[in-house]
Chain A
Amino acid sequence: MPKDDLKTGYRLVGTRPNRPDGLDKVTGRARYGADISAPGMLHAAVVRSPHAHARIIRIDASKALALDGVKAVITRADFPTGLTGEDWNLQENTIAGDVALYDGHAVAAVAATSKLLAQDAAKLIEVEYEVLPHVIDVDAAMQPGAPVIRAGTADHSVPDGMHPNVVKYIDFGHGDLAAGFAAADLVRAQSYKTEATHQGYIEPHACLGQMGEDGKGEMWVCTQGQWYIRRMCSAVLGTDASQLRVTPSEIGGGFGGKTTIFMEPLALALSRKAGGRPVKLVMSRAEVLRATGPTASASMDVKLGMKADGTLTAASVNFRMQGGAFLGSSPVGEALSCALACYNIPAVHHEGYEVLANRPKAAAYRAPGSPMAAFAVESLLDEMCRELGLDPLAVRLKNAVHEGVKSSYGPTYNRIGLVETLQATMAHANLTVPLGPNQGRGVAAGFWFNHGGETSVSLAIGEDGTVTVSVGTPDIGGSRASLGMMTAETLGIAYEAVRVNIVETGALGVNEPTHGSRATFASGLAAVEAAKQAIAQMCARAAAEWGIEPEAVEWLDGAAVPAGPNAGKFPPMTIAEIGAKMGSTGGPISGHHEVTAGGFGASFGAHVVDVEVDPETGRTTVLRYLVVQDAGCAIHPAYVEGQYQGGAVQGIGWALNEEYVYGADGRLQNPVFLDYRIPVASDLPMIDTVIVEVPNPGHPYGVRGVGETGITPPLPALANAIAAATGARLRSLPMSPPKVLAAIKAKARG
């Protein structure tokens, strides 16, 4: 649907007002995780394992405790025993038990009266280790003889005879694979690898926690989900969830990495041990990189069958992923489900292995699993298009999924916008720019499911007719604006008359975090429903005053009006008038909606990148970049573009620069931004965007969610562009200059 048709009739949706929290954020007033202090506050520091795998023989904190001003030291002995499943994983990752499982694994923590004192004290805590053999690489971890990380972790899905580090096996598909490959004119199979990357949010994890002997606690924390923090901390500490009140700070980026806990229970446990004094715990950048949410590393095989005209006939994928030393942390299931989701292929088969390695517990990172899968599948698809002399976008369009098609991962798609996205891509001017020597153009498509989830929103009419909305999804990139716009649109009032607050855990029912691209979708849907409830009450108040039936009143432009000529002749009663007298007409007026939101709509995107590769150095320069993605409906297009641009640039970093580099000793070699190099402004051109809008029928304004798909296509798009520029095909990320140069040289040697 052309954008102009869709937006007809909306007053605010689709416009670009200033975000409500903009002023606080450009003046330095906005308070992030580390920006708050409390009277009597202590500062904490964490002792971390310098070994990738080591038995903890002894921890001696006597020298630390002897320092004046050191108030508490905790080890695993201060935590309850008997946890199971993911609760045990969370506890084990928060603080090591008998064995440190990765370089940077927390072993002890200390609270003292100043930050420097806490750091000094941490250095005085003596830990004796017995170093154990370790394994870092996912393929190596599956080999016979690889060090066993935790015997007995594997779940029932794993076939007999596999290495104990293989802890989960997944296998699904549909159609006749042999017949599909037999029907193909070209069958190709290749293997690919991606290294772990980090979400790289600029704000390190930070919290201020307080807990008394009675298990009642408070926490201020930078998080994507205050209820997740509450539940996970309580589980790890053995306390009751409702006794912990968690207030989210402003959040300095998350990208999935702040949907879980890493060190938050340490602050609470230290506080409890230090007589209930509040404890502030702020990670250093090295701690962030060593001990928080990298994504998985992957090793992948793909096989595709294609007819000479580009029709895909069969596909099989086999992925191995490690997500650290804990069952359930790798996104191998998501990777498999995303791998072939863009295409209508009669026969598909997926096989996946989750593998333990001596690395930090992987956390979600923007479309978890999808970027790696896309790198493998979209790279091979590109190779085959080249081999058959076919246009890679036309082939994608030919095979594109659409409404009514059974997806590769099972469900049948409802209204989706991949076809429209590819058409908009093919029509874009960037595709007609001529390329020079050493330049190449790459394209790729990408997919993410999007998500609804547990959502609870309250809305209250003020005495002056302005409106407060309380939501539980932290604002990570403009969602206060989009939620305020939808609320104001629904109520027919000014955008400025709505205030959206992100509230603490005591103020609403349980909300899932801002994850899965769900904040504008799910909190938006609930805010609209809450607004409709308030409208119904306001219409009833007007009806009572006018002495007519509530059904004879309707809501128009922020006021109750008689519905049609038969309802009687009354002047509109505005929201301000209704608010001013609500105390005497029946009491406060509010709306409330809670739901486990279904109805989320799948998201598809296509990217086109032009690169120039320096044949002398192997350095890749991104010349121009285009993101086309279906938003469903762009409530605030500027923040939709921002998501597309930010996702694309994270994907560019993943493709070209970023990787976890481990030494032979299993220690992370690059735990600083100088060496873990994320894209900087001078690396990049402007990032062109096209917002396609195929409305999601499951949302009142058609929203799909826009946060995640954008990180998926850059990995293969850049590989395809580099192949076009150099003739050299890179099948392992990152495509850093030395690797590209080696590939160019190998190509020249034939």
Chain B
Amino acid sequence: MSKVHVSATVNGDPVEFLADPRDTLLDCLRDQLGLTGTKEGCGTGDCGACSVQLDGVLVCSCLVLGVEAEGKRVETVEGLSSGQDLHPLQRKFIEHAALQCGFCTPGILVAAKALLAQNPDPTETEVRYWLAGNLCRCTGYDKIIRAVMDAGAEMRGAN
């Protein structure tokens, strides 16, 4: 099958790639653009390891085709920190030991950032339900929830 030329913006940078029409956005990010920070845990939309933002909307990149990114903005974990500075979520995840293996971490960070953008002061229950689509097998979620809430508190304080 012949490939399709796709132009998009990834983490603020213009990119171009050739996608097989069957390739997922996740495959294109990882294999075409070398952005392997976004992970595949299931390929069926059930684990959230592949979470990215597409034109500001949180999506599972394993459920989006690469060709659908044409003309769109994609934000991945690699775009979370600006220059030298970690995003508060990234810092809080390290400080709270909110990762063990770290494989779920990129997807959870991207999802949590989307949460705090629309709900800067979430309750524990709101964080838990927002992240219910992001599986973590290592931590039992406790420290993840604390890290997200702490990052939210810090970001509110900074505003």
Q: Which residues of A contact B (CB under 8 A)?
A: 16, 18-19, 21-23, 25-32, 34-35, 37, 114-116, 199-204, 250-255, 282, 284-285, 476-478, 636, 638-639, 641-643, 645-650, 672-674, 678-684, 686-687
Residues of A within 8 A of B134 (CB): 680-681
B47→A673 contact, CB < 8 A? yes
B135→A202 contact, CB < 8 A? yes
Compute how far the CA of A18 lies from the CA of B91 in the bound complex, rounded to whole angstroms: 10
- B119 at the A interface (CB under 8 A): no
Residues of A within 8 A of B27 (CB): 115
B138 CB contact (under 8 Å) in A641, A646, A684: A646
Could you tell me the distance in whole angstroms from the C-beta of A204 to the nearest C-beta in chain B? 7
The 5 listed contacts between A and B (C-beta, < 8 Å) are A28-B38, A116-B22, A203-B39, A284-B43, A642-B143
Residues of B within 8 A of A674 (CB): 44, 46
B contact residues, total (Cβ < 8 Å) = 62
With A27-B37, A203-B39, A638-B143 known as contacts, the answer to whether A255 contacts B137 (CB < 8 A) is yes
A22→B37 contact, CB < 8 A? no
Q: Which residue of A lies closest to B76 (CB)?
A: A28
B138→A28 contact, CB < 8 A? no
A680→B132 contact, CB < 8 A? yes
Q: Which residue of B lies closest to A34 (CB)?
A: B40
With A682-B132, A684-B128 known as contacts, the answer to whether A478 contacts B97 (CB < 8 A) is yes
B100 CB contact (under 8 Å) in A646, A678, A679: A646
Could you tell me the distance in whole angstroms from the C-beta of B104 to the nearest C-beta in chain A? 5
A27→B77 contact, CB < 8 A? yes
Compute how far the CA of A18 lies from the CA of B90 in the bound complex, rounded to whole angstroms: 12
Interface of A (DSSP majority class)? loop
**Hey, what's the 0/1 contact readout for B129-149 against A, CB within 8 Å counting as 1?**
101111111111111111000
A680 CB contact (under 8 Å) in B77, B103, B133: B133
A681 CB contact (under 8 Å) in B35, B40, B86, B131: B131
Compute how far the CA of A543 lies from the CA of B43 in the bound complex, rounded to whole angstroms: 62
Residues of B within 8 A of A682 (CB): 125, 128-129, 131-132
Compute how far the CA of A284 lies from the CA of B41 in the bound complex, rounded to whole angstroms: 8
Compute how far the CA of A80 lies from the CA of B106 in the bound complex, rounded to whole angstroms: 42
A26→B90 contact, CB < 8 A? yes
Q: Which residue of A lies closest to B131 (CB)?
A: A681
- B7 at the A interface (CB under 8 A): no
Compute how far the CA of A643 lies from the CA of B101 in the bound complex, rounded to whole angstroms: 11
Interface of B (DSSP majority class)? loop
A680→B135 contact, CB < 8 A? yes
A31→B78 contact, CB < 8 A? no
Compute how far the CA of A641 lies from the CA of B155 in the bound complex, rounded to whole angstroms: 26
Residues of A within 8 A of B102 (CB): 21, 25-26, 30, 250, 252
B43→A200 contact, CB < 8 A? no
B138→A253 contact, CB < 8 A? yes
B77→A28 contact, CB < 8 A? yes
Q: Which residue of A lies closest to B78 (CB)?
A: A28
Compute how far the CA of A23 lies from the CA of B84 in the bound complex, rounded to whole angstroms: 11
- B23 at the A interface (CB under 8 A): yes
With A673-B42, A674-B46, A687-B140 known as contacts, the answer to whether A642 contacts B101 (CB < 8 A) is no
A29→B97 contact, CB < 8 A? no
B100→A642 contact, CB < 8 A? yes
Q: Which residue of A lies closest to B104 (CB)?
A: A202
Residues of A within 8 A of B67 (CB): none
With A645-B139, A682-B132, A687-B142 known as contacts, the answer to whether A27 contacts B39 (CB < 8 A) is no
A638→B97 contact, CB < 8 A? yes
Residues of A within 8 A of B140 (CB): 642, 645-649, 679, 684, 687
- B81 at the A interface (CB under 8 A): yes
- B9 at the A interface (CB under 8 A): no
With A27-B81, A115-B27, A639-B97 known as contacts, the answer to whether A285 contacts B145 (CB < 8 A) is no
B135→A678 contact, CB < 8 A? yes
B141 CB contact (under 8 Å) in A18, A21, A34, A681: A681
With A202-B104, A642-B143, A678-B137 known as contacts, the answer to whether A672 contacts B42 (CB < 8 A) is yes
Residues of A within 8 A of B90 (CB): 26-27
B135→A19 contact, CB < 8 A? no
Q: Which residue of B lies closest to A684 (CB)?
A: B141
- Which 3 pairs of residues, A with B, have the shortest CB-CB distance? A28-B37, A252-B103, A25-B102
Residues of B within 8 A of A476 (CB): 100-101
A672→B44 contact, CB < 8 A? yes
A204-B40, A253-B138 given; 16 more Cβ-contact pairs under 8 Å: A27-B37, A27-B80, A32-B36, A32-B103, A37-B31, A202-B49, A252-B104, A254-B101, A282-B40, A285-B43, A476-B100, A646-B137, A646-B138, A678-B135, A682-B129, A684-B140
B137 CB contact (under 8 Å) in A202, A639, A683: A202
